Amino acid sequence: MTASSVSGATAVWVDGVPAQSLPLPDRGLDFGDGLFETLLLRGDTVLFSNLHLRRLKRGLEALYFPACLAEVTRLLGSAAAAIGLKNWRWSALRITVTRGSGPRGYGPPSNPKPRIIMVATELGPDYGKILSPAALTLSSVRWPTQPALAGLKHLNRLEQVIAAREYRLAGADEALMLNQSGQPISVVAGSLFLHNEGRLLTAPLGDCGIAGTRRELIMRRWGPALGLAIEETVLTPQQVEDADEVFYSNSLVGLRPVASFGGRSWATYEICEALYGRYQEEIR
Amino acid sequence: MTASSVSGATAVWVDGVPAQSLPLPDRGLDFGDGLFETLLLRGDTVLFSNLHLRRLKRGLEALYFPACLAEVTRLLGSAAAAIGLKNWRWSALRITVTRGSGPRGYGPPSNPKPRIIMVATELGPDYGKILSPAALTLSSVRWPTQPALAGLKHLNRLEQVIAAREYRLAGADEALMLNQSGQPISVVAGSLFLHNEGRLLTAPLGDCGIAGTRRELIMRRWGPALGLAIEETVLTPQQVEDADEVFYSNSLVGLRPVASFGGRSWATYEICEALYGRYQEEIR
């Protein structure tokens, strides 16, 4: 498996074949009819692949895709091997699974053939060091209320696109995204955590948001290993400002502390740094 | 402008060039970062193009796309001319506008170059006759609550995909879609109207739904021409069952009466048929 170079250190495969384009029509383009995952690789090793594949499986089932997880797993192995040959020390691999082609209209074909698109991007050789604390703004666009799709990493991501544009224009590093009731859920590209005196708080995801893989690791493994109590609970913006520490997590950043939000700024990041230490142990 | 034939009577253009595939990466695929319109053509004549282009313009502005409506209009003219050469009597043309390529991540590039994809499909030569009354079910998936995107015809359409799959499996022709509060908003692919003693009722679209072009024509032109009073008002499922008539509208079907919903069935469709007569006058 070799891959076409698109721009700089990038490689693209469609259904396992090096490609620079997607056959049309595709329901992923037409309706966002699909799912994705962004995985971290060290050399040819895919990190935390089980967590990503488990979330993808939940999404495939929720969208009534035909079973294709075995094929995704097989192509992931081939892509990882091909990436290994490139001598990239660290890379990001986005897997997109769409419902493939179909006739005009919302209704999926009765026998869809999913399409699997993989895009690999080299990360800098210095990857694996904690990023500088982030300036956090408040997004003006909120998560949509949709229990039927909450938690899934599907392709309908317009809110995050608009929110990301907004915080960049504001000169910030990330933005807090609220639900329709004004309760903090996440940042644009990551899960949100508050620390208060030995307790880690994060928002429930029953109505919106994405069930982050690193969120799961923090809640089930790294947090408890540090003796932290984990609470999934409704949050308020004021609680964010009042927290001892605020940080977020995603599959490429790992964990990143928040330096400022609203009227508040923070100067120490002990809990986030300690959790990042756990993260480093697992990826190295 | 000629076009590649993809399957049967279909033609595809990407940025005005005959194509069978989409260059990768594309933010339309990655995040549903874009908009679409489905237009009806009689020969080389695009029907109601102003309404479609006006809605597209609202969408482009809401998503902060760079100005590209003039280019869409130019390519629409070229596509219509090419379709005219095919001697298709009636056709559907889907225009998809995405934010084009960009680096990894939700944030759009600071200077995006939108991509314009057009797919033309021949409709049957008998097009322009009212369809048989539809069996309507109730969708189990509801519209997401999202005032920031309500009314727009953007590419994030997973709810409608799932709902369309569901009503087809149930052997129905369409499904009523409710908002998160359980109030009827639309059908899967069309605007919803109830008729009661000279009054046409349709749902407000402040929190979800798509602002249909035919909905606008019915509310502003065809309904008033028949002496009907138009009311945009919150609806209940019971009101749908109790209505004198129920019908829906979209850009290809025009208007279609509903034959059954819940415990109710209807046997006469006078208002829908009269409105369809107005529609026929304008498309012929």
Do B159 and A146 lie within an 8 Å CB cutoff?
yes
Do B155 and A21 lie within an 8 Å CB cutoff?
no
pLDDT, chain B, mean: 96
DSSP string across A210-277: B--HHHHHIIIIIHHHTT-EEEE----HHHHHH-SEEEEEETTTEEEEEEEETTEE----HHHHHHHH
Q: What residues are paired with A37 via a beta bridge?
A: A95
Do A155 and B26 lie within an 8 Å CB cutoff?
no
Q: Which fold, A4-123?
A: D-amino Acid Aminotransferase; Chain A, domain 1 (3.30.470)
Q: Which fold, B134-283?
A: D-amino Acid Aminotransferase; Chain A, domain 2 (3.20.10)
Do A149 and B144 lie within an 8 Å CB cutoff?
yes
The beta-carbon neighbor of B156 closest among A32, A104, A188 is: A32
pLDDT tens readout for residues B190-241? 999 999 999 999 999 999 999 999 999 999 999 999 999 999 999 999 999 9
Do B146 and A163 lie within an 8 Å CB cutoff?
no
- For residue B162, what pLDDT is reported? 98
- For residue A17, what pLDDT is reported? 98
The distance of A225 to chain B (nearest Cα, Å) reads 31
- For residue A3, what pLDDT is reported? 41
Task: For residues B259 and B266, give the distance between their C-alpha atoms in angstroms, rounded to a whole number.
Answer: 5
pLDDT tens readout for residues B242-276? 999 999 999 999 999 999 999 999 999 999 999 99
Contacts of B248 in chain A (CB under 8 A): none
Instruction: Map out the domains of chain B as residue ranges.
Output: 4-123, 134-283
Task: Report percent pLDDT > 70 for chain A.
Answer: 97
Three-state DSSP state, A155: coil
pLDDT tens readout for residues B165-196? 999 999 999 999 999 999 999 999 999 999 99
DSSP string across A48-86: THHHHHHHHHHHHHHTTPPS-HHHHHHHHHHHHHHHHTT
Task: For residues A144 and A68, give the distance between their C-alpha atoms in angstroms, rounded to a whole number.
Answer: 28
The distance of B99 to chain A (nearest Cα, Å) reads 11
Other CB atoms within a 10 A radius of the CB of residue B40 amount to 25
Chain A residue with Cα closest to B156: A156
Chain A residue with Cα closest to B109: A165
Structure ipTM over 0.90, yes or no: yes
Res. B1 pLDDT band, cuts 50 70 90:
very low
Task: For residues B147 and B75, give the distance between their C-alpha atoms in angstroms, rounded to a whole number.
Answer: 31
Taking each helix axis from N to C end, the angle separating A49-62 and A69-84, rounded to the nearest 10 degrees, works out to: 150
Q: Which one of B94, B156, B167 would you mutate to disrupt binding with A, by most A Cβ within 10 Å of its Cβ?
A: B156
- For residue B119, what pLDDT is reported? 97
Q: Which amino acid, one-letter code, is at A176? A: L
- C-alpha distances in Å from residue B16, one per residue of A103, B40, B246: 22, 19, 40
pLDDT tens readout for residues A136-174? 999 999 999 999 999 999 999 999 999 999 999 999 999
pLDDT tens readout for residues A4-59? 333 348 999 999 999 999 999 999 999 999 999 999 999 999 999 999 999 999 99
Do A145 and B148 lie within an 8 Å CB cutoff?
no
Contacts of A159 in chain B (CB under 8 A): 146, 148-149
Whether residue B166 contacts residue A106, with contact meaning beta carbons closer than 8 Å, is answered with no
Q: pLDDT at residue B281 above 60? A: yes
Contacts of B162 in chain A (CB under 8 A): 63-64, 148
Other CB atoms within a 10 A radius of the CB of residue A245 amount to 19
Contacts of A156 in chain B (CB under 8 A): 31-32, 155-158
| pTM of the predicted model as reported, rounded to 2 decimal places | 0.96
- For residue A5, what pLDDT is reported? 35
